[in-house]
Amino acid sequence: MTYTEVPGARVPIRMWADPATVEPVAMQQLRNVSTLPWIEGLAVMPDVHFGKGATVGSVIAMRGAVCPAAVGVDIGCGMSAVKTSLTANDLPGDLSRLRSKIEEAIPVGFAMHDDPVDPRRLHGLPTAGWDDFWGRFDGVAEAVKFRQGRAVKQMGTLGSGNHFVEFCLDGTGSVWLMLHSGSRNIGKELAEYHIGEARKLSHNQNLVDRDLAVFIADTPQMAAYRHDLFWAQEYARHNREIMMALFQDVVRKEFKKAKPMFEPVISCHHNYVAEETYEGVDLLVTRKGAIRAGGGEYGIIPGSMGTGSYIVRGLGNEASFNSASHGAGRRMSRNQAKKRFSEQDLAEQTRGVECRKDRGVVDEIPAAYKPIEQVMEQQRDLVEVVAKLKQIVCVKG
């Protein structure tokens, strides 16, 4: 579909979703964002739904300002995927051992590594700039510096919620490795600190929604946030790199006879800020639940834990600020899903997938998400499909 423009907004709100299906609270969030004097435009993805601070599935382009609550607390959250030389013929009949080995290598939930992961000991992982990256931690907000020890040990860990590690097959029977995570607790701590700082500023006192408090260019507060924001985005990228290297090590050991090889890793953020230029204007583009989909750029759009995911190539649609959806998008809250569905429902909807099927992950049941095929259909002018993946092992936080 092509986009629909929402009427009555101060700036263009271009929507790649049926407005009639968008929750009224999400639609109000979009209108609230459009009232900000720094806003240049909004693009709304087909996985749009209500979120804290700003709508999930929205792309917010601002001139000389950024809203930390719109970025959210999982700064740099995103996806990584890699195609392997393995095929379905290489797989054992029972995949439970593989799942256990992945869970042993990559801590999930609130767990962390007992000792920091040394990237120099991981096969093929680039380490250039590693010391400089940690050196720049000295410049983060003083209120968060005491968390460095935890941040070091959480590097290379999954977290909880909708984060996952998956072992997948594409339509040709080739095996892919895929994972979803972000900046862990350190990103959350930095985000919450700066959201609080933004709310104190005088220019934010009369906003229609206090969650829309912004930092303005050429101020000390903006400089401090930009430093911490971009550092946390880099942390998230490194976190996924280390997890993928650990994942690949598991696969090498478990499929030693097949001697697996790996293509270059595809990686993309979907909760982040980027400096981009449109029609000659320099903008700060916040993608909250959206990926960059510039012309020829690869991206990853996951579905739920029982459906499937897509590797895509961007079409460079500037009306969307070169963006596309970040996934299927929730159609009901976690609490609603827990009340509505049982462990039996989860088992039925994840049949054929080696994964947790207990009460602790019922809120991640496929029926709690929008149909991924519908989401993909609505953004045919944003991305083209390279491969469709179906998970056969899913490790959840």
CATH code, domain carrying 256: 3.90.1860.10
Query: Closest Cα partner for 40 from 57, 62, 58, 15?
Result: 62
Please indicate whether residue 113 is annotated as part of the active site.
no
pTM above 0.85, yes or no: yes
Domain membership of residue 377 (yes or no) is no
Residue ranges for the binding site? 74, 162-166, 180, 270-271, 302-305, 309, 326-329, 396
Return the pLDDT at 1. Answer: 60
Domain membership of residue 146 (yes or no) is yes
Domain membership of residue 350 (yes or no) is no
Distance CA 252, CA 239 (A): 20
Domain membership of residue 31 (yes or no) is yes
Domain membership of residue 272 (yes or no) is yes
DSSP string, 241-287: HHHHHHHHHHHHHHTGGG---BPPPEEEESEEEEEEEETTEEEEEEE
Distance CA 80, CA 177 (A): 8
Element (H or E) spanning 107, and its range?
none
Domain membership of residue 369 (yes or no) is no
What's the structural domain count of the chain?
A: 1
Domain membership of residue 162 (yes or no) is yes
Q: How far is CA 397 from CA 59, 238, 364, in A?
A: 27, 19, 11
φ, ψ of residue 55 in degrees (nearest 5): -65, 135
Residue ranges for the binding site for Mn(2+)? 74, 163, 180, 270
Return the pLDDT at 306. Answer: 87
Return the pLDDT at 53. Answer: 80
Q: Is the dihedral of CA 29, 31, 37, 43 positive or negative?
A: positive
- pLDDT per residue of the chain (397 residues) written in tens, 0 to 9: 689 999 888 899 999 999 999 999 999 999 999 999 999 999 999 999 999 889 999 999 999 999 999 999 999 999 999 999 999 999 999 999 999 999 999 999 999 999 999 999 999 888 888 999 999 999 999 999 999 999 999 999 999 989 999 999 999 999 999 999 999 999 999 999 999 999 999 999 999 999 999 999 999 999 999 999 999 999 999 999 999 999 999 999 999 999 999 999 999 999 999 999 999 999 999 999 999 999 999 999 999 998 999 999 999 999 999 999 999 989 899 999 999 999 999 999 999 999 999 999 999 999 999 999 999 999 999 999 999 999 999 999 7
Domain membership of residue 267 (yes or no) is yes
Range of the domain at 42: 4-300
Return the pLDDT at 127. Answer: 84
Q: Is the dihedral of CA 155, 157, 160, 164 positive or negative?
A: positive
Q: Which residues pair with 358 in a beta bridge?
A: none
Task: Report residue 65 as tokens.
Answer: 């300002």
